[in-house]
Amino acid sequence: MHVLTILDHPNQNSFCTAVAQRFMDGVITSGHTVECADLHAEGFNPLWQQNDIAPGHDPAAEAALQREQARITRADALCFVFPLFWWGMPAMTKGWMDRVFQWGWAYDQLSDPNTSLLKPRPTLLLVPAGARSDEIETKGYRTALETIWLQGTLGYFGCNPRKLELLCGSEGSDTRRQKLLQTSFHAGKSICELIQD
């Protein structure tokens, strides 16, 4: 299995970067291969533009998108790593999805969001969150995020099965952060089990 990890954080020393690395370590430990799309380090442009709607005006931009699409095509599984940002995903991740999962390449229908032009592939969201898990649960934030991301956005792109792993308390103690990194490692090590869930 080949796993593509999409990382969104501008700081190479961030907790998100550590989460992505531990996840990929887990994937490799299980005998699989990994590829990392480090969106900030690679300078991905997240701005949705006219050329994304009507290609043909910017060959360099089109080539960049085709490289990202080729990464997805190669992947048997996807993992997104980004911080929970104002109860959503940061602009870089959203822009990557807006631009890369193009109409006519990833999807072309609206009647059944679980049907896609892309092959089904397990998809995991590893999302560090500063908030406590009890706060996220009792206030309904987890349900809202699952509705938006799992039932909505990712349903159009062949991401099936899909799972959200909120890494709550990521700004807590070193002990807490180490536990979350261990969760990330286990998620990588057991990525195949997501198919069976």
What are the pLDDT digits (tens) for 24-44?
999 999 999 999 999 999 999
Residue 13's pLDDT is what?
A: 95
- What's the CA gap between 63 and 40, in Å, rounded? 18
Q: What is the pTM of this model?
A: 0.93
Task: Please give the DSSP secondary-structure letter assigned to residue 150.
Answer: I
Tell me which residue has tokens 């198919």. Answer: 195
pLDDT at residue 110 above 70?
no
pLDDT tens per residue across span 38-70: 999 999 999 998 888 877 778 888 889 999 999
Q: What percent of the chain has pLDDT over 70?
A: 95
Burial of 11 (0-12, 13-18, 19+ CB in 10 A): exposed
pLDDT at residue 104 above 60?
yes
The residue among 110, 126, 128, 108 whose CA lies nearest residue 118 is: 108
pLDDT tens per residue across span 134-185: 888 888 999 999 999 998 899 888 898 999 999 998 888 899 999 999 999 9
Q: Which backbone phi and psi does 106 adopt, to 5 degrees?
A: -95, -35
